[in-house]
Structure 1
Amino acid sequence: MVTAVHYFATLEDQMMLLDYLGEPAKVTLHPWPLITTPLTALNREDALEQSRVMVVNHQLGLPVPVRAGDAAMQGGSVSAVFNRLNWETFAPAEDEALMDANASPIILWSPARLRPDAILPSSLGSQADLMAQVSKDYERWVNRSMSWIRRNGTRVWGLEWRQTRPDLDIDLSFISTVIALPGALQALESGTPGRSFESKSGEAATGNG
């Protein structure tokens, strides 16, 4: 993910986020990164079982497909390389295509698997190299969505996490800032540990595309 906010969330926190985004009236949820026509829709329960989800704001437009031979697959740019890697990894069927991250007004949501023994970090953001090149409205939407998480949560991890919340049992494999939404913060303060991402098979190449 090129631009993202990482956060801890309980089920209730994730529901609050989806309510804010306007699911299902304003936005819909779909598998990532393969797209079909029409798009395969996910309800909230199914989406929470996915490692990565496309959030589509229908006022901004649908995801843009990219297929073998398209310009987005050609050349040595980072996005083109990841597009080719993802094409090999997912082997799209004839009626499927990859989502073009640099042209699609799509939020990438990675909801962490819910576990009773630990809270894992989720993330939300964009994989576009330059969001404004997709559209200004898209850039504003992504930034507003990430800002909602920051406004409604509490920073519990980052470069100076020991000075931030040394009382919490958090052990992550990265140093990016992590925000705890209200339910997650209460769980962390009650002793539930925060741990790193689970390894999930079949994930796309990261970075872009």
Structure 2
Amino acid sequence: MRHPFVVFDWDGTLMDSAQRIVDCLNFAIAKTRLPERDDNDLKHIIGLGMVEAIEYLYPNGEIQRSDYPRLATAYREAFMGGEVSPSPLFEGVPELLESLIESGYTVAVATGKSREGLDHILDEVGMGQRFHATKTADESASKPHPLMLHQLMQECGFSPSQTVMVGDTEFDLKMAHAAEVAPLAVTKGAHTEEHLRRFEPRAMLEHIVELEEWLASAK
């Protein structure tokens, strides 16, 4: 087994949640009466921590720092309060995770979500006990900083050469490279296949269920 430790991003990798996040951001921006942003820009920041996402959307002091918690609170209200429809897991995800665990892999999550947000969504889809470890941006450093991966590897007892990071954004791939773990890209999430190729993933997976075959053949 070349890579016994598999770390997944959440949004856009395991869950088809890009539109839900965009809808929640639009709700929050409208509620706080901040300048509107294009949906493509909102989609691009998926995977970042909240502060980093706001700084990307409103660079160069376009909004006040005092607006950050207002926007974050409004986003959390939309996401946690059911202002938009729940998101489904991508097809085959529960079966994939079950098969990996039964085959002896250790599985974890590294996400730009908050701890509150991740725990909420794991409970929503009944997967709270499925992962060996999880790490969120508010208890670590936001992607693409490698701290989340370093913490997960230390917690679970694996080296970079034993680890693979699976994600759908440039931030996942940059984090993997910075942590010296194998980066894998899935192309059904927030960033396009063309964009992801610029960050040199070890493989491009059209569907997340292709991961098991890649792991079995990895050398």
More strand by share: 1
TM norm. shorter chain > 0.5:
no
More helix by share: 2
Q: TM-score, normalised by structure 2?
A: 0.29
